[in-house]
Structure 1
Amino acid sequence: MPCIEIQSSSDVMNPAAVLTPKVSAEGGSVGRRVLASRHTSSPIQSLEISQKFANDNNIFDGDEILKKRNEELKEFIDEHNLLWSIKLRSDSLYVELPQQLNDGSKEMFISLLEFADDVLRCKHVIVCFNKTRSDRAALVKTFMFLGFHVLSLDNTLMASNDKQEDQLYMVYIIDSDG
């Protein structure tokens, strides 16, 4: 069962330009010009990506907007019967891909990207999967085509205790200028 967790925090960012294709072959907002962000304050606190997002109900009571975003994400997951591990943290959406991808996964993932941009107003989508997958090269190529970039283990977007050496992390930076 997918898990959604929201963490309210206000990370301070400095923008840096990253060029990606302006128009996506799929349409919508996926693949358009983006604005990269460099964190200047503390990284995201706890991610637990490789542990399949163990906590089911980590909703913080303090922020009504984040609660609403959490509910919208849960509805999207239920409506689309997603079995991926997905976590919403502040302005980032984290997705761990299952070992086996079903037919239509690419289209569903593009729908999730557009949902993260248009409805959840996320700034980043981070996807991870096991480095030893037999289809790793094809996944990296596909995600790079969609505008993702490989995250090194020394990135500051995630806390160091959230980074697993056996996982490959890729980030999609969403343009907030719409």
Structure 2
Amino acid sequence: MTRLLTLYLRSRQLPVALGVAAASVAVVALLGNAPERPLQTHIFAVLALGLGLGVLGNGLGGAADALERTAAIRWACWRTAHVVAVAVAVFVVAAASSDAATGVVLRATAGLVGLTALAATALGHQLAWTLPTAAAGAAAVVPPLTEPEILHLLTWPVQPPDSKVATVVAVVLVVGGLAVYATRGSRQTSTASAG
């Protein structure tokens, strides 16, 4: 089992990606710490999470798509464990580095990791960074208004910790993303064969 785990981690380039993601999340989260401006702190924490998940999202697929579809491995369990491990890793670093409310960091981690998994399933692991980065960027640019309702939905990551709508959005994203990714995996990228 240890050898299989080692091979899996290497095939996904996780040892290097994890170091880069952890450093990126910590630096961005620390830059945003401003006790007198909690919204800025929350925005930087969300940006840090989006960046970290963007880096780690590439590991949600491997170089040999066909191998991952034919091997006698319970891929749904591996995929679920992978997404959960990625979520825990970025959450721990962001929560330790940021002064943002833990509830906001947890909610943003859940929703953004769900978006990462959805992007990997729909677009392929090379583009898994797109949805969490876009959501984090939109939340940073659009103020967390509650009216009209569409702005409330777009800025769910930086809504106040007690926002029920933001929590529901994050839960739907993480459950949906994890379920789809666990059952289907990363989208296969087809390359034209020469010759």
TM-score normalised by L of structure 2: 0.28
Structure of greater Rg = 2
TM-score normalised by L of structure 1: 0.30
* Structure with greater strand percent: 1
